Amino acid sequence: MSIKKKTTSQDTDRQPVPNFIRAIIEDDLATGKHTNIVTRFPPEPNGYLHIGHAKSICLNFGLALDFDGVCHLRFDDTDPSKEEDRYVQAIIEDVRWLGFDWHDKLFYASDYFEQLYEYALMLIKDGKAYVCDLSVDEIRQYRGTLTEGGKESPYRNRSVEENLELFEGMKAGLYPEGSRSLRAKIDMSSPNINMRDPVIYRIKNCTHHRTGDTWNIYPMYDYTHSISDALEMITHSLCTLEFENHRPLYNWFLEQLPVPSYPRQIEFARLNLSYTVMSKRLLLELVETGVVPSWDDPRMPTLAGMRRRGFPPAAIREFANRIGVSKADSLVDFDLLQFCVREELNKTTNRVMAVLDPIPLTIENYPEDKFEEVDADNNPEDPNATTRKLSFGRELFVEREDVSLNPAKGWFRLALGKEVRLKHAYYITLTRVDQDEDGNITRLYATYDPESRGGWSEDGRKVRGTIHWVSAKHAKPIKVKLYDHLFTIPDFSELKEGESHLDYLNPDSLVINTKALAEPSLLDAKPGDCFQFLRLGYFVADDHHTKEAPVFNRVVELRDSWAKKSRK
Ligand code: ATP
Ligand code: MG
C-alpha cells in the first residue's frame, strides 16, 4: 500500500527527520498490520507541562499528522491525591498553544474506572490477582532486589471467593488506606522486578477531581495505562525509556484480558535540557518554596513559562524536530532551543529601538526646535516589509556601552572624533563629553552631517559603526525584565552526595531594568507581542503589560552577525 505523508499543518516547510519509531510505523503500514495510526499523549494532571512533554507532544501529534492518523489527549488521572482540575485546564491550554488538535479525542483514564474494575474482577476470578494485606513497606521488602528474587506474600493463595469479597470491601471503603491492595499474581522470582506481583489497585480516601467520592480504590499506572491504550485502540504507545522494564507487564495485562486491541509500546529517550530541572515534582518545589512566584514564571522550563518568556510555539516545534528521537539519553544544550527561538523571531518580529542604559546626546549643529521624521523599516527579513516613521531631533539618548573614551583598536562605536551611523537617521561625530567628579560620562555632544539622511552618504565614505538611539522628547520609559538561567550549572546528573539543585540557584536569573527608554510605538504593544530591540535582543510584552505600565521580558539575546560585528 502507499504511505500517505504530509507535513504538519503548522510547519509547512518542516522536513520530518527519520527515526526508528517512524520506521516502525512505516513498516506497519507497508505490511498492512495497521491501516490507521493512533497515538496518544497521556499527561498526569499533577503539574504544568514542561519542554520535555513538548518533545512527547510533538512526537505523538506529529506522527499522527504525518501519517494521517489521530492522536488522543488522555489524562492519566489515577492519583487524586496529587491531581487537580486546574492542571487539566493548564495542560489543555498548553497543548493547544503548541499548535496541536485532538479533535473529539479527549479522554480521561477515570472514564475507564468502571471497566478497569470489571477487568480486575476477571483477573481475580481467573486466579490472576489477589488481595494482599502486606503494608507498602512489607511489599517492598518481600519484592527482593535486582540480584535477588522476591518472596511470596502469605496472602498470595487466598481463594477466589475470599479475594472477591475483600476486593468488594476495598471498593466499599471498609478498610483504611494502606491496609490492603490488589496485586497481580505473576512471578515473584521473575528477573524483572515489575513482574513480581505488582500492585494494581490501592485504597485511597481522596476526592477525585472528576469522579468525586465514588471510588475508594484507584488503579495503578501500569495497569491503567495498558488497558486505556487498548480501549482507545492505540496502535503505537510511545513512552520514555524508564518504562522499558514495564513493557512485559504492559503486555501481560493485554494478554490476560479480553481487551479490544493490542497496542505496541515503544520507548524513546526523554529530553534533558541544560541549566534546568524537568521533573514536575522539582518544578512544584520551586513554586512552593517561592524560588519563582508561579508555574508560568518566564524562567521555568514549563510551556506556560516559555509562552510568557516569548518563545514562539513554532520554535519549540522546530526544536523538537531538530533534537530528534532516539534510544540514547542525552543532555540537550539550552542554546539550541534559544537558537530555534531566534530563528523564528528573526522571521516574524518587527525591529524597534530602545535604549537600556540611556545617556543623553546633543547634536549641537541640529536646530533646537526642529524635529523631522525618518523612515525605519520594520523587518528587513520580511519580503513585504513595511516602514514606520521615527521622530528625530537635537536631543537623543544612546546606549552608555556604545561610548568609549579609550577606544581599543577596532572600536567602531562612539569615540571622540569618530563618525558613526545613527540607525535610520544620520552620520554623527562625537565632539566632546561632560563628566562628573568621578569621571563618569553624563552627556555627549556631537555634530551631524545633514547630507547623510537615512544613514548613508553619497560620497560613499565608510562608516562602520551603527548604533541605535531614541529621541529624548518622544521616548517612553519602559520596564524591562532581563531573564537568565534559573541555575548556574548545566548538568544535574553529577550532583554530589547531599547536594541539591537548589544549591545552584542563579541569583541573577532576573534583573529588572527601570531606566530603559523606547520608541513610543512600543506602548501600543499587546501582551505577547514580540519585537527585536535593535542590537539588544528579542523582547516580548509581558502578560501584565499595559500602555500605562509597559513591561517587556527579554526573550533571548541577539547574537546575529550584524550585532556581533557592529558591537566589536
Ligand atoms: P515528570 O517526570 O516531569 O513528572 P512524567 O513522566 O511524570 O514527567 P507525565 O504527565 O506522566 O509526566 O508525562 C506524560 C508524557 O510525557 C509521558 O508519556 C512521558 O513519557 C512524557 N514525558 C515526560 N517527561 C518527558 C521528557 N523529559 N522527555 C520526553 N517525554 C517526556
Ligand atoms: Mg508520570
Q: What is the mean predicted confidence (pLDDT) over 367-396? A: 93
Task: Record the cell numbers describing residue 207, joined without a space.
Answer: 476526592
Residue 237 burial (CB count, 10 A): 24
* In the block, residue with C-alpha cell 522550563: 301
- Residue nearest to ligand 1 atom 29, measured at CA: 270
CB-based burial of residue 474 (10 Å sphere; 0-12 exposed, 13-18 middle, 19+ buried)? middle
- Residue nearest to ligand 1 atom 1, measured at CA: 279
Out of 21, 50, 51, 56, give the residue to mutate to test ligand 1, the one with the largest number of ligand atoms within 8 Å of its CB.
56
Please enumerate in sequence order all residues whose Cβ is within 8 A of that of 27, keeping only pairs 6 or more positions apart, or say none: 33
Q: What is the mean predicted confidence (pLDDT) over 27-35? A: 97
* In the block, residue with C-alpha cell 523599516: 377
User: Ion ligand 2 — residues with CB under 5 Å?
Assistant: 44
Atom of ligand 1 at shortest distance to CA of 270? 28
Q: What is the mean predicted confidence (pLDDT) over 175-196? A: 97
* In the block, residue with C-alpha cell 522499558: 244
Query: Is the pLDDT reported for residue 3 higher than 50?
Result: no
Query: Is the pLDDT reported for residue 161 higher than 50?
Result: yes
The CA 157 to ligand 1 mean position distance, Å, reads 37
The CA 221 to ligand 2 mean position distance, Å, reads 8
pLDDT reported for residue 561: 36
- Residue nearest to ligand 1 atom 22, measured at CA: 53
The CA 352 to ligand 2 mean position distance, Å, reads 43
The SS3 assignment for 95 reads helix
Atom of ligand 1 at shortest distance to CA of 281? 4
Element holding 229 (H helix, E strand): helix 221-231
Phi-psi category of residue 173: left, alpha or beta, with phi > 0 → left and psi -120 to 50 → alpha: left
> What's the rounded Cα separation, in Å, for the pair 463 and 385?
25
Parallel/antiparallel/unpaired status of strands 70-75 and 106-108: parallel
pLDDT reported for residue 384: 83
pLDDT reported for residue 566: 41
Atom of ligand 1 at shortest distance to CA of 240? 20
Atom of ligand 1 at shortest distance to CA of 55? 29
CB-based burial of residue 296 (10 Å sphere; 0-12 exposed, 13-18 middle, 19+ buried)? buried
Please enumerate in sequence order all residues whose Cβ is within 8 A of that of 552, keeping only pairs 6 or more positions apart, or say none: 354, 478, 479, 480, 481, 518, 522, 525, 531, 539, 540, 541, 542, 545
CA dihedral sign of residues 559, 562, 566, 568: positive
The CA 518 to ligand 1 mean position distance, Å, reads 41
Largest CA distance in the chain: 102
Q: What is the mean predicted confidence (pLDDT) over 420-442? A: 97
8-state DSSP, 554: E
Q: Could you tell me the CA-to-CA distances from 551 to 284, 348, 390, 545 in Å, in that order? A: 26, 20, 21, 5
pLDDT reported for residue 565: 35
Which of 499, 553, 40 minimizes the C-alpha distance to 300? Answer: 553
- Residue nearest to ligand 1 atom 2, measured at CA: 279
Query: Is the pLDDT reported for residue 207 higher than 80?
Result: yes
Residue 26 burial (CB count, 10 A): 14
Least distant ligand from the CA of 285: 1
Rounded (10°) CA dihedral 451, 454, 457, 463: 120
pLDDT reported for residue 83: 97
For residue range 351-365, what is the model confidence (pLDDT) as tens digits? 999 999 999 999 999
Average pLDDT, the chain: 94
Rounded (10°) CA dihedral 296, 298, 301, 303: 50
To the nearest whole percent, how much of the chain has pLDDT over 70?
96
Atom of ligand 1 at shortest distance to CA of 238? 18
Query: Is the pLDDT reported for residue 5 higher than 90?
Result: no
Least distant ligand from the CA of 244: 1
Atom of ligand 1 at shortest distance to CA of 243? 20
Atom of ligand 1 at shortest distance to CA of 44? 10
Chain centroid offset of residue 243 CA: 22
For residue range 317-350, what is the model confidence (pLDDT) as tens digits? 999 999 999 999 889 999 999 999 999 999 999 9
Residue 52 burial (CB count, 10 A): 18
Least distant ligand from the CA of 242: 1
> What's the rounded Cα separation, in Å, for the pair 174 and 311?
51
> What's the rounded Cα separation, in Å, for the pair 87 and 95?
12
The CA 165 to ligand 2 mean position distance, Å, reads 31
Burial string for 329-354 (b: 16+ CB within 10 Å, else e) reads eeebebeebbbbbbbbbbebbbbbbb
pLDDT reported for residue 11: 62
Atom of ligand 1 at shortest distance to CA of 43? 10
The CA 464 to ligand 1 mean position distance, Å, reads 50
Task: Record the cell numbers describing residue 497, joined without a space.
Answer: 552526595
For residue range 72-129, what is the model confidence (pLDDT) as tens digits? 999 999 999 999 999 999 999 999 999 999 999 999 999 999 999 999 999 999 999 9
Please enumerate in sequence order all residues whose Cβ is within 8 A of that of 403, keeping only pairs 6 or more positions apart, or say none: 359, 413, 414, 415, 430, 433, 441, 444
Between CA 45 and CA 256, with CA 123 as vertex, the angle to 5 degrees is 85
To the nearest whole percent, how much of the chain has pLDDT over 90?
91
- Residue nearest to ligand 1 atom 26, measured at CA: 52
Task: Record the cell numbers describing residue 473, joined without a space.
Answer: 522628547
pLDDT reported for residue 343: 95
Q: Could you tell me the CA-to-CA distances from 48 to 7, 115, 287, 308, 341 in Å, in that order? A: 28, 28, 11, 14, 21
The CA 469 to ligand 2 mean position distance, Å, reads 50
Task: Record the cell numbers describing residue 327, joined without a space.
Answer: 534510544
Least distant ligand from the CA of 90: 1
Neighbouring C-alpha atoms within 13 Å toward the C-beta of 535? 21
pLDDT reported for residue 138: 97
Least distant ligand from the CA of 43: 1
- Residue nearest to ligand 1 atom 9, measured at CA: 43
Out of 240, 277, 278, 492, give the residue to mutate to test ligand 1, the one with the largest number of ligand atoms within 8 Å of its CB.
240
The CA 267 to ligand 2 mean position distance, Å, reads 14
Residues having CB within 6 Å of any atom of ligand 1:
42-44, 52-53, 55-56, 239-240, 270-271, 278-280
The CA 284 to ligand 2 mean position distance, Å, reads 14
The CA 200 to ligand 1 mean position distance, Å, reads 21
pLDDT reported for residue 2: 38
Residue 4 burial (CB count, 10 A): 10
pLDDT reported for residue 284: 95
- Residue nearest to ligand 1 atom 16, measured at CA: 53
Could you list the active site residues?
44, 270, 280
- Residue nearest to ligand 1 atom 23, measured at CA: 53
Q: What is the mean predicted confidence (pLDDT) over 434-453? A: 96
